[in-house]
């Protein structure tokens, strides 16, 4: 891939004439990605790539990542603490605790395996109500049967990746530690 193609891929065509020192932090990060793509690598490592980005720059950067993965077939290993970003960008998530991989899967797989809680939120007579549990579908059926005319703003929320992450890490931290060499 040539220089012009790399700059286009990361959205820097209009800045091609600028010096690096004149680029904003977000544009420098894009340039870093373009440099990392020289030679068409199969694997690209990104460590906290959007730290300090404003929302617009973050969204544009996410678009670049999607283009790389979808159009170029590049495998991207993303290391970050931004779980919203992980959820938006990742097909597969590895969660580390104590220097070990303690969970591996998609956001949905991890939520199903580790955190089965959902929330049913509704309004009735101008009162907001929340039911948390693992029975969202059954609870919602009963709720609608009991109040066919009086429910509004019904919403069912699955577990967020942050909630799942916290459950996984807390589970790992509360497991008794095995002494080295003993199984």
Dihedral of alpha carbons 75, 72, 89, 155, sign: negative
CATH node for 3-91:
3.40.50.300
CB burial of 37-72 (b: ≥16 within 10 Å; e: otherwise) equals beeeeeebebeebbeebeeebbebbbebbeebbeeb
The string of pLDDT tens digits covering residues 34-71 is 888 888 888 888 898 888 778 887 888 888 888 888 87
CA distance 161 to 115: 9
Q: Which helix (H) or strand (E) holds 82?
A: none
Q: Tell me: the pLDDT tens digits for 108-122?
A: 888 888 877 788 898
pTM for the whole thing?
A: 0.68
Domain ranges of the chain: 3-91, 114-174
Instruction: Residue 156: name the closest of 181, 178, 129 by CA.
Output: 129
- 133 vs 128, more confident: 128
Q: Tokens representing 156? A: 């069912």
pLDDT, tens only, 78-117: 999 889 899 889 999 999 888 889 999 998 888 888 877 7
Residue 178: the pLDDT is 53
With contact defined as beta carbons under 8 Å apart, do 60 and 26 qualify? yes
The DSSP code for 89 is H
């Amino acid at each position: 891939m040539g220089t012009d193609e790399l700059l286009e891929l990361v959205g820097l065509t209009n800045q091609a004439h600028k010096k690096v020192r004149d680029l904003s932090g977000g544009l420098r990060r894009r340039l870093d990605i373009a440099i990392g793509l020289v030679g068409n690598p199969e694997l690209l490592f990104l460590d906290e790539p959007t730290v300090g980005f404003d929302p617009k720059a973050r969204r544009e950067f996410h678009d670049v990542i999607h283009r790389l993965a979808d159009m170029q077939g590049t495998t991207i290993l993303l290391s970050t603490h931004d779980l919203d970003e992980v959820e938006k960008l990742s097909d597969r998530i590895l969660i580390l605790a104590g220097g070990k991989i303690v969970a591996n899967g998609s956001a949905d797989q991890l939520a199903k395996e580790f955190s089965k809680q959902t929330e049913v939120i509704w309004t009735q007579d101008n009162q907001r109500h929340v039911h948390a549990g693992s029975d969202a579908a059954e609870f919602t059926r009963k709720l609608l049967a009991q109040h066919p005319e009086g429910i509004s703003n019904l919403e069912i929320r699955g577990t967020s990746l942050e909630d799942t992450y916290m459950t996984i890490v807390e589970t790992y931290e509360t497991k008794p530690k095995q002494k080295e060499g003993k199984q």
